[in-house]
Amino acid sequence: MDYSVKVMDHFSNPRNMGSIENCDGIGEVGNAKCGDIMKIFLKVEENRIVDVKFQTFGCGAAVASSSMATELIKGKTLEEAWKLSNKAVAEALDGLPPIKMHCSMLAEEAIHEAINDYLRKKGLEPWKD
């Protein structure tokens, strides 16, 4: 399987890997078919993501997608982060093989879960896709 240089870089040197103590929102999603599990941790101040970390159990494309997605939403408002699409994650990685596109989908879903977890903790209505 051919991966781009960017995918290999984010897989070999993942950005924002780890967890955040006392985080404001956690999103965990998984794909039972391939066994990938992705967890995103958010630290939010004044509606802006000031820190984001991830833990991913899965293939190289899943790790690279998590790494790139966290880079793309750091410093963004919740609304901006919500709009990050799996296509944007894949494009930022210079493409993913079609069989691995679900990995970028997991990143989008995990971000949505983490934002909604944050909103629920604040007593707000979760957002819909």
Residues labelled as active-site residues: 34, 103
Given a contact cutoff of 8 angstroms between Cβ atoms, the answer to whether 38 and 28 are in contact is yes
Q: Where are the beta strands (DSSP E) in the chain?
A: 25-31, 36-45, 48-57
Given a contact cutoff of 8 angstroms between Cβ atoms, the answer to whether 2 and 97 are in contact is yes
What does the alpha-carbon distance between residue 1 and residue 111 come to, in Å, rounded to a whole number? Answer: 27
Q: How many CB atoms lie within 10 A of CB 117?
A: 20
Structure token digits, residue 73: 């939403």
What does the alpha-carbon distance between residue 4 and residue 27 come to, in Å, rounded to a whole number? Answer: 27
